Structure 1
Amino acid sequence: MTRIALRLLSAIPTLFGVVLVTFLLTRVLPGDPAVFFASNPSMSTADIVALREQLGLDKSLIEQFWIYLVALCQGDLGNSLTTGQSVMTEIINRLPASAELTVFAFLLAIGVSLPLGLAAALRPGSLIDHASRLISTLGVSMPTFVTGLLLVYVFYFLLGVAPEPIGRMDPFLFDPPKVTGLLTVDALIAGDMEVFRAAFTQMILPAVTMALFALAPLTRMTRAAMLGTLGSEFVRTARASGLSRRKIIFTYAFRNALLPVVTTMGMTFSYMLGANVLVERVFSWPGIGAFAMDSIINLDYAPLQGFMLVMAAIFILVNLTTDIVVTIIDPRAAK
């Protein structure tokens, strides 16, 4: 509990650092938002100056940061100049799309990487061991947007077995009643299997793209952790005691190998939250990653700052959850 409490306290300066750095980075982006949004040819220089005053860009950086910090303490992330909506509202509306895609991709990666790494560790030098190394190499060497484009080209353009990459839902279907914001879950709650199949089908290619990105570190860590555990003294003692192979592998070896694997899972999930920015762009996925990308292009400061703050909070939450799970697996880790 002490370690968790310290992690929570350390989150405060971390979040403040994210707020400060994000604010400064947005201010050094090339271009002037007032000039960008004053695209009407009839607007004069005086109109642009008035718009800059309205946006608060005529003030010094210190004044701008103080105004932003006061609003942030009141729960106000500002308004998006592009959509005209509150940034908080935009994030709440778009976060379920990103969460659904990321969680599904993460579960898919775990479902493949753990058995693959385990099989590779049990048969070093075998065909499956070489296959796991090949998958790991491809996963770390290919950028996510390249993988996504290749999957779209092969499965949609060439084979025609995947749906058009146009977002979360077939445009000819209606969204189910919103309960959780997760289309597949809401469709199951409503009992609409047609919408569920359509939403699930749309999610397959982007989820596979992100899962391939996560497969590499998870498979490599599972293999390395299992190889290290299988060569340890207590496993040799268990074998000498006549215990069954299944009991040795899953009760003794795999449980001890889980510690570094779970830590890698937490780090990988955090990385996936950043990787979904490009994946959402490739597949026209209406998540917060695509929203942040549009805000960069449009010089819209508030959404970008809100996105970075939310991502930092999620990173901290993921790391805290990882610490709790590691403590559950091995209470000695909390000391």
Structure 2
Amino acid sequence: MSRIGIRLLSTIPTLFGVILVTFLLTRVLPGDPAVFFASNPSMTQADIEAVRTSLGLDRPLIVQFWLYLKALLHGDLGNSLSTGQKVTTEFANRLPASAELTIFAFVIATAVALPLGVIAALRRGSFIDHLSRLIATLGVSMPTFVTGLLLIFFFYFLIGWAPEPIGRLDPFMFEPERVTGLYTVDALLAGDLELFWAALKQMVLPAVTMALFALAPLTRMARASMLETLGSEFIRTARAAGLSRRKIIVTYAFRNAMLPVVTTMGMTFSYMLGANVLVERVFSWPGVGAFAIDSIINLDYAPLQGFMLVMAGIFILVNLTTDILITLIDPRSSL
């Protein structure tokens, strides 16, 4: 059986484990959702029990889990008690915001990290090499919410270059007609360049915040992998054969060095999906991460469980994509 087929089969117990653990974790959260949503002072204990019954919290835990599994098999993630909407509807509205931000941040991180890591390896001990290690250290040591607050302070409050961090678009501008849910893409499809630049400006600071988080592992791995490849025997053979430096670096060294880098890119993108939770809160970004935090605060089980399940599915999809890319780069890695 191919590696992709084995990975697909392995996702079944993985997803079931995520469903089970998430379900149990939401049930051990401190507080009673029935009391929270029946917070009217005039409500009696009987009214609270009625709310608990309507939420299904009066049933045994195993029965609650079984009913949740049955609903999932029908594509039903439940309803959000705080908004009154279906969780699938909320995610459909909010997931494009998180996806647009994460993809843009990942593009920035990759565009900076790969050249920086490769140049640092080629010029070991130079200023670029020291800069790459400094960036890697800062990226690891600084939490994303601290980075975001510092960027807001400098570029919005002190300098005034960045727009107010209040979401995806200035409140005085209208949203583009929804096609993909990505404001920049929908604005381009509508031919509205002013709206495109407005949406892009709102996205720069939160995207840079997430990109700095991703720069550390990508730069470090690109540098280390390139150094290891440059010291390998087949590179020494290529030099002895009289091949040009450019051909050795571009054709042989870079391609072989990309194998561990691509794996790191897949892992980093998955980590960014979790890091965007705090970034969305700091920048008032209306994505699924901010929605998940609100669900924890409101003791709203269904959105939190749905968030964990969706993130697990995306994580698995990213890993499969990474396996395919590695196979394309190195055909010896058979599917």
With the shorter chain as reference, the TM-score category is over 0.9
SS in 2 for 1:299: coil
User: Once the two structures are aligned, what percentage of the paired residues are identical?
Assistant: 79
Shift of 1:39: 1.3
CA–CA distance in structure 2, aligned partners of residues 165 and 144 of structure 1: 15
Q: Which residue of 2 aligns with 1:181?
A: 181
Letter in 2 for 1:199: A
Partner residue, 2:51: 51
Instruction: Quote the offset at 1:91 in angstroms.
Output: 0.6
Deviations 1:170-194 (A, max 9, x none): 0000011110000000000001111
2:206 corresponds in structure 1 to: 206
CA distance in 2, matches of 1:171, 1:29: 36
Q: What CA deviation, in whole Å up to 9, does each residue of 1:254-311 have, x standing for no partner? A: 0000000000000000000000000000000000000000000000000000000000
Normalising to structure 1: TM-score of the pair? 0.99
Unaligned runs of 5+ in 2: none
Q: Specify the code of the residue in structure 2 equivalent to 1:291.
A: F
SS of the aligned residue for 1:333 comes to: coil
Letter in 1 for 2:21: V
TM-score by length of structure 2 reads 0.99
**Aligned twin of 1:331:** 331
The reply on whether 1:306 has 2:306 as its aligned counterpart is yes
Task: Please list the CA deviations of residues 124-173 of structure 1 after superposition, one character each: whole Å capped at 9, or x if unmatched.
Answer: 11111000000000000000000000000110011111000000000000
Find the counterpart in structure 2 of residue 159 from structure 1. 159
Distance 1:285 1:62 in 2: 36
Q: Any residues of structure 2 matched to 1:89-108 within 5 Å, and which?
A: 89-108=89-108
Q: Which residue of 2 aligns with 1:75?
A: 75
CA distance in 2, matches of 1:243, 1:327: 27
The aligned runs of 1:1-335 (5 Å cut-off) are: 2-334=2-334
> Offset of 1:334 from its aligned partner?
2.6
RMSD of aligned Cα (Å): 0.7
Distance 2:288 2:327 in 1: 32
Offset at residue 244 of structure 1 (A): 1.1
* 1:210, distance to aligned residue in structure 2 (A): 0.2
Which whole-Å CA distance do the structure 2 matches of 1:179 and 1:30 have between them? 40
Hey, what's the Cα distance between the residues in 1 that align with 2:118 and 2:35?
57
Alpha-carbon shift at residue 241 of structure 1 (Å): 1.2
- Listed as ranges, the gaps of 5+ residues in structure 1 are none
Runs of 4+ with >3 A deviation: none
Partner Cα separation in structure 2 for residue 39 and residue 237 of structure 1: 75
The separation in 1 between residues aligned to 2:333 and 2:290, in whole angstroms, is 38
Q: CA deviation at 1:238?
A: 0.8
Equivalent AA in structure 2 for residue 80 of structure 1: S
Residues paired across the two proteins, number = 335
Distance across 2 between alignment mates of 1:290 and 1:94: 9
Give the C-alpha shift of residue 240 in structure 1: 1.2
